[in-house]
Amino acid sequence: MTSSGPDAAHDADTHDAAGDAPDRLEVARVVAAPAAAVFEVLTDPQGHVDIDASGMLMDATGDRVTAAGDTFVVHMDREALGDLPMGEYDVEVTIRSFTPDEDISWTILGRVRPPIGHVYGYRLEPLGPGDDGRERTRVVSYYDWSTIHPKWREAGIFPVISEANLKATLGILARTVTRRAR
């Protein structure tokens, strides 16, 4: 979470009504690529696996997403986090918001019931060319569990993914976008 600079406006979204418990993480990074190139990775199910820093995403099946409501399957392995003995399992990713080259978010449905209800997403802001002439995009990654089912809130297991995981994923995203552009 940030406390100053361009992300300061989002800090209000990172705490509950009492102001003491976070229910959203946001991190940002400038990527030396056009927003369209970043969005291409984020709309590709395999792209999610390619950029995952948690180690949980093992593979994905499904077509590139093109609209809210589209779905694909991610094959997971929770053992990578070392927190719960869930082993390998599949989740269905459902795209929640979709604005080409600007915004994408999704929820997941796994084997646990009731559905958890947490949201992952990215916002992209084109910044124009840098000193080296390459287009740049400010990428904001967020993880929001503010509307999770009460059963899961009471379990006290959130956040599952750390801020460090989100930051590392942005680094891998920058590397992946650069490599795919070659």
In a domain, 8, yes or no: no
Q: Is residue 9 part of a domain?
A: no
Residue 46's SS3 state is helix
Contact in structure between 136 and 113 (CB atoms under 8 Å): no
CATH at 100: 3.30.530.20
Look at residue 116 and tell me if it is in a domain: yes
Residue 5 lies inside a defined structural domain of this protein: no
Which residue range forms the structural domain that includes residue 151?
Answer: 22-181
Q: What is the number of domains present in the chain?
A: 1
90 within domain boundaries? yes
Question: Mean pLDDT throughout 142-152?
Answer: 93
pLDDT of residue 135: 95
Query: Is 80 exceeded by the pLDDT of residue 61?
Result: yes
Is the confidence at residue 72, as pLDDT, over 50?
A: yes
Please report the pLDDT score of residue 97 as a whole number: 98
Per the omega criterion (within 30 degrees of 0), is the bond before 34 cis? no
User: Does 170 fall in a domain?
Assistant: yes
- Does 93 fall in a domain? yes
Q: Is residue 15 one of the residues assigned to a domain?
A: no
Chain centroid, CA 105 distance in Å: 7
Mean pLDDT across the stretch 126-136? 95
Enter the tokens of residue 142: 């967020």
Q: With the CA atoms of 47, 161, 147 and 6 taken in that order, what torsion angle do they form, in degrees rounded to the nearest 10? A: -80
**pLDDT at 51 (0 to 100):** 97
Mean of pLDDT values over 26-55: 97
